[in-house]
Amino acid sequence: MQLRPFGTTNLKVSAVGLGCNNFGVRLDLPATRKVVHAALDAGVTLFDTADIYGNRGNSERMLGDALGPRRKDIVLVTKFGMPMDGSGGRQGGSRHYVPRALDASLERLGTDWIDVYYYHRPDPQTPFEETLEALDALVRAGKVRHIACSNFSAAQIRAAQTAARAKDLTPFVAAQDQYNLLSRGLEKEVIPAIEAEKLALLPYFPLASGMLTGKYRLGRPMPQGTRLSNARYSDRFLNEQNFRVVERLQAFCAARGRTLLQLAFAWLLAKPFVAGVIAGASTPEQLRQNTDALGWDLGAEEIAEVERLTSRAG
């Protein structure tokens, strides 16, 4: 397994990380253990979860149970900020809530520290300075090693980093956003901000919820039980334009004896600001397919051709 630098930190992470949002929803504890152990055996060191995953807390609980003493061998990422109940009190980035959210995550995960703690989405009710002060205190206490942001606009990234510098607070070291061959919206504003601030990017949905595996075909029935059979995800990716782009990419891969899965990962990992890709897995076999897809180093001409083939991707 290839290890890559995590931005400006001293962390090294596996090129493919395990997204843990299936735990506690699609997978029970025994199934979670099988996937986590397969990931560890394959050399995966990056595990990405959030307090809200798994019906609010179960992903963290199951991941902590499955890791056990191997927790010290991995880079553990979790997030805070999304509503954890309907009260309105267990969410956001206030100075009162942030330490409570972290302590709850630490207890569920069975650990004393988080390697990278993500602000899951901006809280419009709380100034960045207040949230950053709360996070800085957690870093100074040794409970968190690094902090990061998710789903921030370019302006919000710049504002948060400016606030951290102005008050000598711990800055963000990474961002996590949707980015793949079919979702290129970040390239206009967010990625320039990420590069200017020297942040690492951890793309989520690197396979466009399965569209970039090649198993979905225009005009054919949707496989049952897949992520894209859920309207929440199908509305993002299932459209004729994306199907046409996928067809072109499949032909590109076939001419080179490669797979679409390999291309999806290789294209992202060719970006110098990408630390690794977060890919979910519901079985050990799927996990191994993801890790086995590494190893294609795209040349400049191949990258240019892929850019041409995806030029109409949204």
- Say how far apart CA 207 and CA 138 lie, in whole Å: 34
- Say how far apart CA 68 and CA 29 lie, in whole Å: 13
Cα angle for residues 75, 265, 248 (degrees, 5° grid) = 160
DSSP per-residue codes, 161-228: HHHHHHTT-PPEEEEEEE-BTTB-GGGTTHHHHHHHTT-EEEEE-TTGGGGGGT---TTSPPPTTSGG
Indicate the angle between helix axes 53-67 and 29-41, nearest 10 degrees.
60
Catalytic member of 53, 117, 118, 216: 53
**Burial class, 8, CB count within 10 angstroms (exposed 0-12 / middle 13-18 / buried 19+):** middle
Q: Say which residues have a Cβ less than 8 Å from residue 290's Cβ, sequence separation at least 6.
A: 16, 261, 265, 279, 281
> 3 and 45 in contact (C-beta within 8 Å)?
yes
> 17 and 294 in contact (C-beta within 8 Å)?
no
Q: Say which residues have a Cβ less than 8 Å from residue 148's Cβ, sequence separation at least 6.
A: 77, 116, 117, 118, 119, 172, 173, 174, 175, 176, 199, 200
Is 118 known to be catalytic? Answer: no
> 208 and 180 in contact (C-beta within 8 Å)?
yes
- Distances in Å between the alpha carbon of 225 and those of 8, 231, 282, 287? 40, 12, 11, 17
The bridge status of strand 3-5 relative to strand 12-14 is antiparallel
| Active-site residue list | 53
